[in-house]
Amino acid sequence: MTLGQEFNVFGDWFIIHFTENPGMAFGLEFSGNYGKLILSLFRLVAITVLVVYIYNLTRQKASNLVLVSLSLVLAGAMGNMIDSAFYGMIFSSSNYFEVAQFMPPEGGYGTFLHGKVVDMLYFPIISGTYPDWIPYLSGSEFQFFRPVFNIADSSITIGVILMVLFQKQFFGKKPVESTVDLQQEPEMKTDL
């Protein structure tokens, strides 16, 4: 697909729209090559920390819900990291007029850890115009759920939503076990 090309899967509410995200969520990015490198290295460190944390939770027999939620976040982070690490090395640059070439003879458009992440899922569920009674926005168009995302982004989002919904299982304090026997009366000292 060419950059920006789209086709409807189910009506006007489920669209495959090809775009490339150069940075992180919502297309935000650090400027320059060093910014992309810093972001990629941060992702690698975060993935490593998450792997170790999940491993330790597994050994401690943590709740399956906790493990599933964190695993969803890990899987999404790894998916986006793999895309970012290798996509630029194996594809030519995408544009609005021609399809990117797989394994071009002159090499890809980016080096290791400098690629973009492909996003293709687009769900513009509700479209319309703002009513006249809303100041500054009246008459302008709005669209509910404008972001284009991928399955890895969905995995991260579902994992985080599960953590928020079931936060007591994740972050609840464990009851402190008392070592004092309440049945036993304390000894009184009679030394004067």
| 116 located within any domain | yes
Give pLDDT, residue 82. Answer: 93
- Give catalytic status of residue 191 as yes or no: no
- Give catalytic status of residue 153 as yes or no: yes
pLDDT at position 23 over 80: no
Spot the catalytic one: 12, 119, 132, 181.
Answer: 119
Q: Determine the Cα–Cα distance for residues 60 and 75; give it in Å rounded to an integer.
A: 21
If one counts the domains in the chain, the total is 1
Q: Which of 56, 122, 64, 113 is nearest to 88 (CA)?
A: 113
| 13 located within any domain | yes
For 155-182, the pLDDT digits (tens) are 999 999 999 998 887 776 655 555 555 5
pLDDT band, residue 27 (cuts 50/70/90) = low
Spot the catalytic one: 12, 153, 181, 191.
Answer: 153
Q: Taking the model in full, what pTM does it have?
A: 0.78
Cβ atoms within 10 Å of 47's Cβ, excluding its own: 16
What are the DSSP calls for the chain, one per residue? --TT-EEEEETTTEEEEEEEESSSGGG---SHHHHHHHHHHHHHHHHHHHHHHHHHHHHTT--HHHHHHHHHHHHHHHHHHHHHHHHHHHBPPP-SSSPPPBS-TT--SS-TT-PPEEEEEE---EEEE--TTSTTTTT-EEEES--EE-HHHHHHHHHHHHHHHTHHHHHPPPPPPP-S-TTSPPPPP---
| 22 located within any domain | yes
| 163 located within any domain | yes
| 99 located within any domain | yes
**Structural domain that includes position 111:** 6-127+136-171
Q: Determine the Cα–Cα distance for residues 131 and 127; give it in Å rounded to an integer.
A: 13
Give pLDDT, residue 145. Answer: 85
| 87 located within any domain | yes
| 190 located within any domain | no
Give pLDDT, residue 166. Answer: 87
| 113 located within any domain | yes
The mean per-residue pLDDT over the stretch 78-102 comes to: 92
The amino acid present at 42, given as its one-letter code, is: F
